[in-house]
Amino acid sequence: MLLPCTKENIERAAKILSGGGLVAFPTETVYGLGADAFNKEALVRIFEVKSRPFFDPLIVHIADLDSLHRLVNFDVMCNAAKQNLKSLCEVLWPGALTLVLPKNDDVPLLATGGLETVAVRFPDNETALNLIRFSTGAIAAPSANPFGYLSPTRAKHVEDQLGDKVDIILDGGKTAIGIESTVLDLSCTRPKILRQGGVEQEKIEKIIGKIDNQIEKTYEANQKISSPGQLKSHYSPKTRLILHKTNEIISMPFEKKEAFLFFDDNSAQHWREFNKNECNIKQNCVFILSFEGDLNEAAANLFDILHKIDSLGFNIIHAEYAADFGLGRAINDRLARAGVKV
Ligand code: TXA
Ligand code: MG
């Protein structure tokens, strides 16, 4: 059931969460599928509804810093990690940064995929924060999509994909950032980015110093993995996607039933110029992440446009890489994974 984010509806949804139900809700990144983080039956339902493997851990969402004490075992953290946590929370929370920290004993292993760490996020969205506050204060929520598919950036995407498997879907419109949070591991001696996302690596490095980007690349299913968001095939549209460098894509011939996803209008113009003798070109095979080439706008539109292309019956999506800095890293990461089919 799709409901607008009024106070009454948020309270109603919070009651459902407290009673062990599932609620899809907006955050500033993508829509989440929430359950009480301490209710094991409710957590099992998340995995069932998403067809998600149990080894893939969830993010626990909180609405105040005190809640960290319920989730995190600070005793086993070194002083440097504690200091990093403090500095990052001060500047970047609430926001699109998820921190992986040593877990408290009573955090269910179901929420952490069997790991001794827990991923925690303090989202920057009023509906999400009120929902957490009015319910149990700690809501486990993966993105509200079937496992492996694109994350939802609108309530309608959740409804189309999960329908009545969810008790309530709170409709907060299109999400502001449009790409999932950055996942940063603070549980080990050196901070490590496990997933590029809504907060730029450069912003994090300004606070805690340079981060080593060496993360393991491939994983077998069922192996214990440090962050399944690193699975090669993930965040995928149904349509086959092929990634190209700018100089390649702008000189690709138009083909029927093939969509072209450009980073900015500049590339689209070059492509149109290259294909100017092709009188069949329909404007509607051309998609642009950001007309002016703005990385924030491009990230906000990425999943939204991929959802749209997926619904239009194209055979292939040809996509252009974004610049590899700032949010461009997260965009390229999602495009690369969208392009891998296993
Ligand atoms: O923006 C977001 O992060 C959204 C919204 C709803 O908050 N949530 C989201 O959740 O993207 P999900 O489940 O789709 O992705 C969570 C990522 C996965 O890559 C998972 O492997 C990683 O976080 N993760 C969770 N707990 C972890 C842990 N203990 N250690 C390492 N990685 C973890
Ligand atoms: Mg996800």
Would the CB of 229 count as within 6 Å of ligand 1? yes
Percent with pLDDT over 90 in the chain: 86
Question: Ligand 1 test: best mutation among 27, 46, 59, 334, most atoms within 8 Å of CB?
Answer: 59
pLDDT surpasses 80 at 280: no
> Average pLDDT for residues 7-24, to the nearest whole number?
98
Question: Ligand 1 test: best mutation among 186, 227, 236, most atoms within 8 Å of CB?
Answer: 227
Provide the pLDDT confidence category of residue 342 given band limits of 50, 70 and 90: very low
Report pLDDT for 10: 98
pLDDT surpasses 90 at 304: yes
More confident: 235 or 194: 194
- Tell me how far apart the alpha carbons of residues 35 and 19 are, in angstroms, rounded to a whole number: 9
Report pLDDT for 217: 39
User: Average pLDDT of the chain?
Assistant: 92
Ligand 1 atom at minimal distance to the Cα of residue 33: 6
- Tell me how far apart the alpha carbons of residues 17 and 45 are, in angstroms, rounded to a whole number: 12
Q: Which range, of 88-97, 311-320, 331-340, averages the lowest pLDDT?
A: 331-340
Report pLDDT for 46: 97
Report pLDDT for 213: 74
pLDDT digits (tens, 9 = 90+) for 74-84: 999 999 999 99
- Tell me how far apart the alpha carbons of residues 337 and 248 are, in angstroms, rounded to a whole number: 20
- Tell me how far apart the alpha carbons of residues 342 and 133 are, in angstroms, rounded to a whole number: 40
In the chain, what are the helix, strand and coil shares in percent, each to the nearest 5? 35, 20, 45
Q: Which range, of 150-164, 234-248, 289-303, averages the lowest pLDDT?
A: 234-248
Q: Is residue 330 helix, strand or coil?
A: helix
> Average pLDDT for residues 237-254, to the nearest whole number?
94
Q: Which range, of 135-144, 205-214, 294-303, averages the lowest pLDDT?
A: 205-214
Would the CB of 228 count as within 6 Å of ligand 1? yes
Would the CB of 118 count as within 6 Å of ligand 1? yes
pLDDT surpasses 90 at 236: no
Residue nearest to atom 31 of ligand 1 (CA): 227
Report pLDDT for 340: 67
pLDDT surpasses 80 at 53: yes
pTM of the model: 0.92
pLDDT surpasses 90 at 227: no
Report pLDDT for 214: 62
222 CA to middle of ligand 1, Å? 17
Residue nearest to atom 22 of ligand 1 (CA): 227
pLDDT surpasses 50 at 176: yes
Report pLDDT for 218: 35
Phi, psi of 42 (to 5 degrees): -65, -40
Task: Specify whether the CB–CB gap between 61 and 122 falls below 8 A.
Answer: yes
Handedness of CA 217, 219, 223, 229 (dihedral sign): positive
Say how many CA atoms lie within 13 Å of 338 toward its Cβ.
33
Would the CB of 142 count as within 6 Å of ligand 1? yes
Residue 67 is classified by DSSP as G
